[in-house]
Structure 1
Amino acid sequence: MAAASCATQSVWLRRMLEVMHQKQDTLTVIFCDNKSAIALCRNPVFHGRSKHIDIWFHKIRELVAEKEVAIEYFPTEEQVVDIFTKPLKAELFYKLKKMLGMIQA
């Protein structure tokens, strides 16, 4: 659901930039740490297991097919934003804190 929301927001921003004569020629890359969600986004085939997903979520499939956005895997351990959104083990917390530049190497 987060990837779908991100995709729709990125398309909105792309359209706003186009109105301001700053058209983006490359597609927007969205990084996701959920391989199942990435598979659902890339595969346009409807599965019985995915019928519970809201219709608006399927919009991300269209955006991927239209080459507006691309979904790429990014490991959980590298997701710096997790420091703000999840409880973390101390080791990962300090690693992400270092990646943010909050502590010196």
Structure 2
Amino acid sequence: MHQKQDTPTVIFCDNKSTIALCKNPVFHGRSKHTDIRFHKIRELVVEKEVAIEYCPTEEQVADIFTKPLKVELFYKLKRMLGMIQA
């Protein structure tokens, strides 16, 4: 898109262990089986291209597309997407 990016792209994650692994390479010895994609994300975090932030499961809007949800949570996320009126 040929646009300069001044701030890191924020990725919201509801898994605290994943966030810790991205931010702290000390865990590397216990995560040798981790996929190459994960190491690329860690590299992007170090280079400040990407920022990983915690987002509680109840606020993780992407879950509506990837998981079966309870009816209440489904409608809450649907409202958050602006698909129904609040």
TM-score normalised to structure 2 length: 0.85
Task: Work out which of the residue numbers 35, 41, 53 in structure 2 matches 1:72.
Answer: 53
Runs of 4+ that moved beyond 6 A: none
Give the Cα separation in 2 of the matches to 1:56 and 1:91.
34
Output one character per residue of 1:72-102: Cα deviation in whole Å (capped at 9) or x when no partner. Answer: 0111111112112211011111111221222
Partner of 2:4: 23
Unaligned runs of 5+ residues in structure 2 are none
Output one character per residue of 1:7-47: Cα deviation in whole Å (capped at 9) or x when no partner. Answer: xxxxxxxxxx4xx3x21111111111111100000002244
Unaligned runs of 5+ residues in structure 1 are 1-16
Select the structure that is richer in helix. Answer: 1
Count of residue correspondences: 86
RMSD: 1.6
Distance 1:56 1:102, change over 3 A: closer
1:89 aligns with 2:64: no
1:59 aligns with 2:40: yes
Partner of 1:35: 16
Partner of 2:84: 103
Give the Cα separation in 2 of the matches to 1:69 and 1:83.
23
Percent identity between the aligned chains?
86
